[in-house]
Amino acid sequence: MRESIIYGVHAVKEAIDAGKELIKIQVQKGLQNPALDELLKTARGAQVLVQYVPREKFYAFKDKNHQGVVAYISPITYHSLEQIVPSIFESGETPFILILDKVTDVRNLGAIARTALCAGVHALVIPQTDAAPVNDDAMKTSAGALHSLPVCREKHLKTTLEYLNQSGFTTVACSEKAKDSISQTDLTGPLAIVMGSEETGISPELLKKCAHLAQIPMNKGVSSLNVSVAAGIILYEALMQRS
């Protein structure tokens, strides 16, 4: 499967103006003109990620009138967490949110989304930057789950955790730095679980914002699990407790 790509300054701006969800815009380094300035202003207003890339990046698009600008269309529509949370409470359900910090592999994202949907998670939260894009590969790996599970793309996860803490959630970071295991942690109420990447884990500023840290017990000699496997373990521990 191939991502849907838009080529050219005016076409990309028209897509944003039309309300299209874009994963990112890539602009050739050093490119400057009034039309591009207008596009970048529009992109900032729509909170679309802009990346500046070398000229060589555009060699793959040599048969397209790209003008040094391409944009990747998202296959899903993103949701607002601040709208989803009240709707969950209003429905009488107990909210269950999963937050991914610096998970950059699209296959892990897709696999996690599939497990999260099965475990009853109401929404998946990812950051705007340093995150795997919700692209065609992620969609394929999720086996359709990303069409059903609401995804919220938030500018600052720190602010997201502050909002959830203030909204009565128990915020739990899954970390090897924790003293308590996931089975010793209460996962029954309004809950937000935070997962980090295998390489860097959860960022220190987010760890400080979580009310609890919980670890997955492992045999000696095993330092970490693949993040999609770890997510599956803690999500199903939460599902068992909440059942």
Tell me the longest C-alpha to C-alpha distance in the chain: 60
pLDDT in tens, 51-92: 999 999 999 998 899 999 999 988 898 999 999 999 999 999
Work out the pLDDT band at 218, boundaries 50, 70, 90. Answer: confident
For 5-73, CATH gives 3.30.1330.30
Q: Which residues contact 162 (CB under 8 A, 6 or more apart)?
A: 209
Q: Which fold has domain 81-242?
A: Alpha/beta knot (3.40.1280)
State the pairing for strand pair 22-28/212-214.
unpaired
State the pairing for strand pair 151-154/170-174.
unpaired
Q: What is the mean pLDDT of residues 14-26?
A: 90
User: Higher-confidence residue: 18 or 213?
Assistant: 213
CATH fold match for the domains 5-73 and 81-242: no
pLDDT at residue 41 greater than cutoff 60: yes
Instruction: Write out the two tokens for 83.
Output: 């709208």
pTM: predicted TM-score of the whole model, two decimal places: 0.85
Q: What is the mean pLDDT of residues 198-204?
A: 89
Q: What percent of the chain has pLDDT over 90?
A: 78
Domains of the chain, by residue range, sit at 5-73, 81-242
In whole angstroms, give the CA distance from residue 7 to residue 128: 22
Which pLDDT score is estimated for 136?
A: 86
Q: Are 106 and 137 in contact (CB under 8 A)?
A: yes
Nearest C-alpha neighbor of 9 from the set 65, 83, 53: 65
Surface-to-core class of residue 65, CB atoms within 10 Å of its CB (0-12 exposed, 13-18 middle, 19+ buried): exposed
pLDDT in tens, 120-156: 999 999 998 889 989 889 999 999 999 999 999 998 9
Q: Are 154 and 124 in contact (CB under 8 A)?
A: no
Which pLDDT score is estimated for 1?
A: 40
Distances (CA, A) of 82 to 75, 79, 157, 207: 22, 9, 13, 21
Question: What are the strands of the beta sheet with 191-196, ordered from one edge?
Answer: 151-154, 123-127, 96-101, 191-196, 170-174, 212-214
Q: What is the mean pLDDT of residues 214-221?
A: 84
Q: What is the mean pLDDT of residues 23-32?
A: 93
Which pLDDT score is estimated for 221?
A: 65
